[in-house]
């Protein structure tokens, strides 16, 4: 299943040098102490956007992450199939970001960016053995320093305790429906607000929905081997040749799992409502990345930076903030500064921006940056206005920069790089300015021997280890 006067966070550079980790550690320690003082001095103040809860405390926060959901498979983003009735209803009273992007096309670096507000070159949690460094400050740590009690319940082992994602949480374990209910029961009489992070695994492959949802999406005729991780890996590795109807059959199974998870999200909303917590809880619904169905000859995710793996849902229901649809681009790094700005909490500078802060008329839309470095697939990309540049950094990604006009060619089928060399040069400069034109060295890596057998088993079930 399921601080009034706070300064706005602004983007800063994080130089990759030998002293960077030490500098960040000192900064983090000072900031933690400062947050305690801020909490005491600002507890009686109110941000005009952070309303709806008791006068003496901030709203609760629920961060609901649905693994592997692409935005164009949801009704709120225009999909015609009934995959998301509960999210669609929820979105009618929420802030919907129409053009939201993941910072990577696989879970760990994407969630590291969401939790820190930093681009991959800054948090350096990029590879299969990468661990989120202790010297970065996470959303959970900031909320804890401001009086929140944090609970993390995750089904994807890529963001488990072994990889550093438990930082700042009072409790952190594998997601379980009954644990959620019991914990919410405890919160009804708690004197402090809570931060609940739920990370659901479906519709991550293998796609194996319950029969009820298979029938709903006519997915029951798919061969049994389509429902296995091995087959998906063989498709991407070229070891299995897809049939003419393979993409459609897998797509139906995927839609069924999206709908199954949507029901679980609805059950979570019902649990909040039943306990009288709904009106005093900010709920953020987001995905870590999307999924491919052979649009560019690829399957699953983590093998490219095309739109199908980067465009994600981002929907926020924030007490006191009117429902609206926001068109300018949003990305994972924006979630932290937006939430903290809403709550009126001071934050370290990040690579993101407060999506609800007022914009000056005539401001250009923000640039979007992404990065991929896993299993030999290496690339980076930048979107500025209508143009997207993808810079291949490994043979699997190509041999030269690719330029797409997303307005005229949303399917990214027409490479304009040779026709627009000046645009290519300018956008390559943007990637270089953000340390995305070359290697991003992991900050901390874990040895295989440090991964316990339960984590290894769960990673194996998802196709991440042999």
- Among residues 441, 401, 466, 463, the alpha carbon closest in space to that of 106 is found at 463
C-alpha 248 chain-centroid distance: 26
Position 5 scores a pLDDT of: 31
Q: Which residues contact 143 (CB under 8 A, 6 or more apart)?
A: 61, 150, 168, 195, 345
Position 40 scores a pLDDT of: 35
- Among residues 338, 336, 335, the alpha carbon closest in space to that of 321 is found at 338
DSSP assignment of 150-168, as one string? Answer: EEEEES-GGGSGGGTTTTT
pLDDT digit string, tens, across residues 310-325: 999 999 999 999 999 9
Q: Which pTM value belongs to this model?
A: 0.86
Position 465 scores a pLDDT of: 54
Q: Domain 20-366, CATH 3.50.50.60 — does that match?
A: no
pLDDT category at 3 given cuts 50, 70, 90 is very low
Query: What end-to-end distance do the CA atoms of the chain give, in Å?
Result: 28
Position 216 scores a pLDDT of: 95
Q: Is the pLDDT of residue 457 over 80?
A: no
Position 437 scores a pLDDT of: 92
As a whole number, mean pLDDT of residues 248-273 equals: 95
Q: Is the pLDDT of residue 441 over 70?
A: yes
Position 127 scores a pLDDT of: 87
Q: Do the Cβ atoms of 119 and 371 come closer than 8 Å?
A: yes
How many Å is the Cα radius of gyration of the chain? 21
Position 189 scores a pLDDT of: 78
pLDDT digit string, tens, across residues 173-229: 876 777 888 889 988 777 899 999 999 988 988 899 999 999 999 998 888 999 988
Position 56 scores a pLDDT of: 58
């Amino acid at each position: 299943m399921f601080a009034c006067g706070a300064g706005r966070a602004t983007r800063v550079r994080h130089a990759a040098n030998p002293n960077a980790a030490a500098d960040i550690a000192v900064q983090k320690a000072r900031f933690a102490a400062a947050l305690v003082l801020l909490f005491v001095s600002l507890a009686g103040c109110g941000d005009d956007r952070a309303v709806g809860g008791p006068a003496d405390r901030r709203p609760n926060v629920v961060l609901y992450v649905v693994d592997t959901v692409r935005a164009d498979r949801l009704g709120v983003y225009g999909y015609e199939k009934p995959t998301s009735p509960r999210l669609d209803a929820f979105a009618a009273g929420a802030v919907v970001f129409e053009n939201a992007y993941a910072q990577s096309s696989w879970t760990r670096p994407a969630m590291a960016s969401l939790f820190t507000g930093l681009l991959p070159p800054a948090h350096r949690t990029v590879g299969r053995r990468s661990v989120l460094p202790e010297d970065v400050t996470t959303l959970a740590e900031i909320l804890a320093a401001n009086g929140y009690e944090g609970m993390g319940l995750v089904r994807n082992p890529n963001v488990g305790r072994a990889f550093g994602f438990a930082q700042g949480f009072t409790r952190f374990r594998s997601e379980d429906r009954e644990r959620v209910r019991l914990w919410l029961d405890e919160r009804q009489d708690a004197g402090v607000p809570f931060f609940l992070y739920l990370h659901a695994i479906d519709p991550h492959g293998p796609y194996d929905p319950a029969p009820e949802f298979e029938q709903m999406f006519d997915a029951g005729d798919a061969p049994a081997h389509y429902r296995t991780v091995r087959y998906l890996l063989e498709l991407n590795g070229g070891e299995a040749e897809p049939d003419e109807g393979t993409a459609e059959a897998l797509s139906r199974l995927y839609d069924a799992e999206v709908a199954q998870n949507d029901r679980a999200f609805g059950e979570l909303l019902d649990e909040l409502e039943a306990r009288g917590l709904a009106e005093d809880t900010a709920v953020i619904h987001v995905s870590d990345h999307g999924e491919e169905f052979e649009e560019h000859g690829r399957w699953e995710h983590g093998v490219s930076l095309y739109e199908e793996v980067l465009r994600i849902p981002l929907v926020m229901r924030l007490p006191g903030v009117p429902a609206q649809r926001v068109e300018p681009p949003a990305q994972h790094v924006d979630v932290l500064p937006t939430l903290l700005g809403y709550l009126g909490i001071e934050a370290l500078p990040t690579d993101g921006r407060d999506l609800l802060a007022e914009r000056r008329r005539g401001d250009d839309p923000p640039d979007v940056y992404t990065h991929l470095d896993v299993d030999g697939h290496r690339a980076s990309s930048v979107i500025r206005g209508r143009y997207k540049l993808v810079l291949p950094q490994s043979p699997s990604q190509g041999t030269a920069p690719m330029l797409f006009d997303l307005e005229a060619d949303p399917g990214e089928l027409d490479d304009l790089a040779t026709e627009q060399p000046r645009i290519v040069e300018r956008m390559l400069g943007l990637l270089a300015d953000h340390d995305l034109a070359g290697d991003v060295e992991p900050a901390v890596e874990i040895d295989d021997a440090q991964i316990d057998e339960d984590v290894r088993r769960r990673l194996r079930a998802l196709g991440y280890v042999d």
